[in-house]
A = this chain, B = another copy of it.
Amino acid sequence: MSLGYDVAALEELINQFERMPGIGRKSAQRMAFYVLDMDHDAAKKFASAIENAHESIKQCSVCCNLTENETCSICQNEARNKKIVCVVEDPRDVMAIERTHEFDGTYHVLHGAISPADGIGPEELTIKQLLARLDGVEEVIMATNPTVTGEATAMYVSRLLKPLGIKVTRLAYGVPVGADLEYADEVTLTRAMEGRREI
């Protein structure tokens, strides 16, 4: 949809915002006008934050998590237990687990899950890098998503690791804490029943 007049630079900016996930035309327009209302330095800072993030953020040479350095702060941290590696699909999953403050091992970020339908095979993920860092690792926790592709990825990786004598575990399935049992889906409830523990 054109604005109906000649402000190409504004149109371009709205289009840029509209391309983002979850942003519709109206929000994109609101955001573009917000940018126009910024003072000049703030707009420059915003633009350079984008370029900067894009240029300076790379993958940790050990765990493939995002970092601005050669290795990320978790891999560099002497206090973290290097014998346990938690495998996740996405850097955001690392953040989620870190927020629990309950895990003191290290991570490995696959940057996706095996999904033949989307043309994503094991080579597209950082599985090779995982296999290269198993020296001294005792347990690998597969914390890929509880979805078809996440499950398939967990199975695939575990089949590679088990012959090497490494303990491979999977996150527990069950009902989410604080949720209403009434609304839990059948598969989750079945898994929760299967995984029941004595109290």
Contact = CB atoms under 8 A, between A and B. Distances in A.
Interface in A1-55: 3-10, 12-13, 16, 20-23, 27, 29-36, 38, 40, 43-54
Which one of A40, A43, A46 has the highest number of Cβ atoms from chain B below 10 Å of its Cβ? Answer: A46
Nearest to A69: B6
A168 interface: no
Nearest to A33: B92
Contacts of A34: 20-21
A6 B92 contact: no
Given A4-B98, A22-B30, 4 more contacts: A5-B65, A7-B68, A13-B53, A46-B50
Interface of A: 3-10, 12-13, 16, 20-23, 27, 29-36, 38, 40, 43-54, 56-57, 65-69, 72-74, 91-92, 94-95, 98-99
